[in-house]
Structure 1
Amino acid sequence: MKRALLAVALALMLVVAGCNTTDQGGDSTTVEPTGEPTDEMTTAQTTAEQTETGTTTSGGEDEEDDEREEQEEPCEYRSEEGDLVQVQGACLGFDANQVYLNVMEMAGVELDTGPSVRSLSPEQTNPYTFDQFGFSNESFQAVMGIAPNGTPDVYVAGYASPQTGPDGSVEVDVVMRYIDADGGEGRPQGPEEAEITLAHEYLHAIQFYEGSQDRLAANLTSEGVNLGDVETSLVEGSAVYFESEYQEQYMDRDAASRNVSAWANSSPFSMYQLGPYVMGERYTKFRVNSTSEFQTLYDNPPISMEQIMHNHMPDEERPRNLTVERGQDSVWNHYDTSTRGELFLRSSLRAGVSGPRAAAGAEGWGADRAMTFRNQSYSSAGNYKYGYAWTLRFDNASEQDEFRGIFGDWLESRGPLTDGVYRMDEDHTYRMVEISDETVVVLAGHERFTTQTVATGNASHVTVTMTDADQTSSVQSDDDDDEERLVTAQSGAVRATV
């Protein structure tokens, strides 16, 4: 089957509909904020994400595929014989085949094939649930505050799915959701919103036909970090760029770029979900001069979300050196280590501080490594309890100091300081250890983990060891001639045990 995007390593990103792992078919899905669409933030595509435990969300609209009678009301825009695009379902309210021809012209390609399009009315559309998102309150993402508060504030408006035949040919199916030819208010997509969504999905179809995503994946350097987010940002950023330019070229509207300010002050959940689209579009515009050049970006891609978020070239602001390891005497099982990146850090901070302060606290990101641990000993039911050790290295001492001050407010937003840790409940406790003037370790998760873990090392190398005794009074650093740094709950400025 056609290889789509790399499975995104960041855990549990919401509103995704389809497998995106190697050797599997991959869907590109369309995500929108809830409420009435706006010019600033209309549709946004995202790819299926790999959950923290290594499984993937699946299926997209399986329920909608099960023997559902298609809505075939009278419509002057039905497909004609010979069209590259064949449409069935609810009336889109515009010529879907012409939109495809327009997007091909924008991309500078000539294809003799096109996707099939199935459009679903609001009544035919099944809303997503947390189970489909693969969301877990025990994930590192949720523990760090990147979680919806009640009803999710984004939803899936459409998606594109490729299939590769035995002869290597590629077929692409596009599903459009919440289609209402009369417009409507709130979630339903009227003709203008749907046309913008479809232009976005058609760019994904062209990527599938052209092998663009494979091309990008082949050029992602092994020296990069959080490459799943990087790849999503480039693939989706291109599509958002197209939807913006499409409005100006073919809809007699201003090119409506995503509103960076609105994104920067959105909820942590929206920030994390829409970050690759908002920042990816801006980065695409930074790197290319026209829509026909979109694939040139894939030949020399960036290597980190930091570069994308701050418009750096691949050879600028490269990640700092950082290695982490598990101590030999650890009593918790370590089963995953990954780099989360600046977008994850900024979204996490947003859970406890304002948008501007979250940006300031994350901006000095130099490198990070998040280690995931679990243990069954502390649950009467034999369930796993989780702990997370997130090592963050900043560009310099000043940036680390700024982060500590901002993160101190974040910690206070989690709950009261009790027994050396900030506590929401037994499974959501937090403590920070300063390793050097550039590096800190954030401990999060079950209280036995955060209170009994030792973090030692220097700016570029950290060892995390779980013990069976309280460790909230001190920590040993390799810096400054092994001078011991006290990290008591009473010490000032969120220095360590907090």
Structure 2
Amino acid sequence: MRTAVAAVLFAAMLVLAGCSAPAAGPTTAEWAYPDDPPTDRLGWEAGYWYNESIAVNQSDGLDAAEREALVARTMARVERIRGLEFRESVSVEVISRAEYRNRSVFGHERSAEYEAWHEQVWEAPLLVGEDRAVSEEFDALYGGAVAGYYSPSSDQIVIVSDADEPQIHRATLAHELVHALQDQHFGFAGSRYRDLGLAHRGLTEGDARYVEILYERRCAAGANETTEDGDPGWNCVPRPDRSGGSSGGEPVNSGLFAYIYQPYADGPAFVHNLRQRGGWEAVNAAYDHRPHSTEQTIHPDRYPDEQVAFVEVPDRTSDGWERFEVNTPTERLGETGLFVMFWYNDYAGDGYRTSDDPFSAYNYTAAPADGWAGDRLVPYHKGTGEDAEYGYVWAIRFDSASEADEFARAYRTMLQLRLGARTVDARAGIYRIPDGPFADAFRVDRDGDRVVITNAPTVDQLTDVHAPPE
């Protein structure tokens, strides 16, 4: 999936364009480049070479012939950059943003218990308070930010056009074609935890975004020049003017956006690092050993050796509190979850500034989050329906006791300075936010390299949700 961000805070994703050198010469006496080859080969798709000129004018939309030519040549160019051959053709559909919203691509009916569990997952990193519904926040986010997606179940790319007439942004098309190429060669891996899912997408979205950047660099250079990397440039179909389009809809929660955007921001640099180590072969090999956490995609030097520490949360509930009965009752938010929590609540220092790395859109590092080694988030509830009460336990391990202490001190200070928490018992680490969307009681315990955050509606209920160890 490729997102295009309208908000000034996030800016649109970097696009720099490109093209390439002639394809491999003839391999048979009967055939000579640039004629169509007798068999499929790298840089040629459906009758079009990667450096072939095509007659495409998007000012009045794309007709069927123009779309066919644009898709085929873009496939050939993606092959040329990525060094992988498409094994089959890819269907491309263009729909309006209104139709995209109506399709509800990313959402479907969930049980009331799952929705309540989900609310606690995003309340724990202090991103969505009790005044907003998480499902509505994600609907607003995806409804306005998605420019296109690839569906593995249907082997189809869908481009979301904001123009009245169907248009295709060449970078979006190239990006989604990389996903189709990934599906044909490597497949996609499932993930139990959100942090693991982001880590996997750091590879898949990073790969697609990296190719997209190289593609746009070649387009920017033009046919008679070379890119900064020395690659020959290409003539490219001009990008549609998006100035008249509007994503519309509800305002986007910038904290949730920052969380799901991490693979797009750090993934290209992660993939570039792999390619620097061992070429595209190293990138291909990573699909057999996908990153285990966002720590590895934020810090590529920690891949593949830095493993995730096991974190256990013993059930110490009382007075009717219990865990949710959902498929995966616990969650892991990763280093990205810690970073975004501090950033969203204005306590991340220079974090999330525009990165100096040409392949990394933003910086996702902050001192209190940098020592993350593993975490386990467990939402709890007492009762059901309108009278239900909710809380959570978030246990986090760090690489050292000093880094755990740094996190705990930063978290306590953030609660007080940014969220108005009042100290109830400093020695016991108990605080209370008296009002607002995060009005609750908190206990922050540190023991060696481990920090445990317990949340409950009232101070008295903290022990009922999770009694401290004796």
Which secondary structure state, in structure 1, belongs to the residue aligned with residue 145 of structure 2?
strand
1:243-392 alignment, distance < 5 Å: 243-252=212-221, 267-289=254-276, 290-291=279-280, 294-327=283-316, 329=318, 331-335=320-324, 336-356=329-349, 359-376=366-383, 381-382=386-387, 384-392=388-396
Does the alignment pair 1:30 with 2:2?
Answer: yes
**How many angstroms apart in 1 are the aligned matches of 2:198 and 2:183?**
19
**How many angstroms apart in 2 are the aligned matches of 1:325 and 1:421?**
24
| Structure with greater contact order relative to length (CA < 8 Å, sep ≥ 6) | 2
Give 1:370 shift: 0.8
Does the alignment pair 1:415 with 2:420?
Answer: yes
Aligned-partner residue type, residue 293 of structure 2? S
Which secondary structure state, in structure 2, belongs to the residue aligned with residue 100 of structure 1?
helix
Checking the alignment, whether the CA contact within 8 Å between 2:399 and 2:449 is kept in structure 1 is yes
Does the alignment pair 1:146 with 2:121?
Answer: no
Give 1:362 shift: 0.5
Checking the alignment, whether the CA contact within 8 Å between 1:433 and 1:441 is kept in structure 2 is yes
Deviations 1:365-394, CA, capped at 9 Å, x for gaps: 1221111111117x7x34x33211001122
Checking the alignment, whether the CA contact within 8 Å between 1:120 and 1:178 is kept in structure 2 is yes
**How many angstroms apart in 2 are the aligned matches of 1:181 and 1:466?**
53
**How many angstroms apart in 1 are the aligned matches of 2:58 and 2:198?**
41
Query: Identity percentage over the alignment?
Result: 21
1:1-20 alignment, distance < 5 Å: none
Show structure 2 runs of 5+ residues with no match: 17-56, 230-252, 352-365, 425-430
Report the CA distance shift for 1:40/1:176 in structure 2 as closer, same or farther (over 3 A): closer
Pick from 234, 250, 258 the counterpart of residue 203 of structure 2. 234
Pick from 454, 458, 463 the counterpart of residue 443 of structure 1. 454
Which secondary structure state, in structure 1, belongs to the residue aligned with residue 3 of structure 2?
strand
Aligned-partner residue type, residue 422 of structure 1? I
Pick from 85, 97, 101 the counterpart of residue 76 of structure 2. 101
**How many angstroms apart in 2 are the aligned matches of 1:122 and 1:331?**
46
Pick from 131, 145, 156 the counterpart of residue 155 of structure 1. 145
Which secondary structure state, in structure 2, belongs to the residue aligned with residue 317 of structure 1?
coil
Report the CA distance shift for 1:123/1:411 in structure 2 as closer, same or farther (over 3 A): closer
Give 1:418 shift: 7.1
Report the CA distance shift for 1:111/1:250 in structure 2 as closer, same or farther (over 3 A): same
Report the CA distance shift for 1:156/1:42 in structure 2 as closer, same or farther (over 3 A): farther
Show structure 1 runs of 5+ residues with no match: 1-28, 44-71, 88-93, 164-170, 183-188, 257-265, 455-464, 478-498
Q: Using structure 1 for the length normalisation, give the TM-score.
A: 0.61
Give 1:145 shift: 2.6
Does the alignment pair 1:207 with 2:182?
Answer: yes
Deviations 1:220-254, CA, capped at 9 Å, x for gaps: 9x9x9942222122111111111111112344286
Q: Using structure 2 for the length normalisation, give the TM-score.
A: 0.65
Which secondary structure state, in structure 1, belongs to the residue aligned with residue 221 of structure 2?
coil
Give 1:312 shift: 2.9
Aligned-partner residue type, residue 202 of structure 1? L
**How many angstroms apart in 2 are the aligned matches of 1:442 and 1:293?**
39
Which secondary structure state, in structure 1, belongs to the residue aligned with residue 313 of structure 2?
strand
**How many angstroms apart in 1 are the aligned matches of 2:15 and 2:256?**
17
Give 1:271 shift: 1.7
**How many angstroms apart in 1 are the aligned matches of 2:302 and 2:453?**
30
**How many angstroms apart in 1 are the aligned matches of 2:437 and 2:84?**
56
- Aligned partner of 2:21 in structure 1 is none
Checking the alignment, whether the CA contact within 8 Å between 2:198 and 2:262 is kept in structure 1 is no
- Aligned partner of 2:50 in structure 1 is none
Checking the alignment, whether the CA contact within 8 Å between 2:195 and 2:336 is kept in structure 1 is no
Which secondary structure state, in structure 2, belongs to the residue aligned with residue 325 of structure 1?
coil
Report the CA distance shift for 1:76/1:363 in structure 2 as closer, same or farther (over 3 A): closer
Which secondary structure state, in structure 2, belongs to the residue aligned with residue 342 of structure 1?
helix
- Aligned partner of 1:47 in structure 2 is none
**How many angstroms apart in 1 are the aligned matches of 2:268 and 2:441?**
35
Does the alignment pair 1:118 with 2:93?
Answer: yes
Aligned-partner residue type, residue 96 of structure 1? V
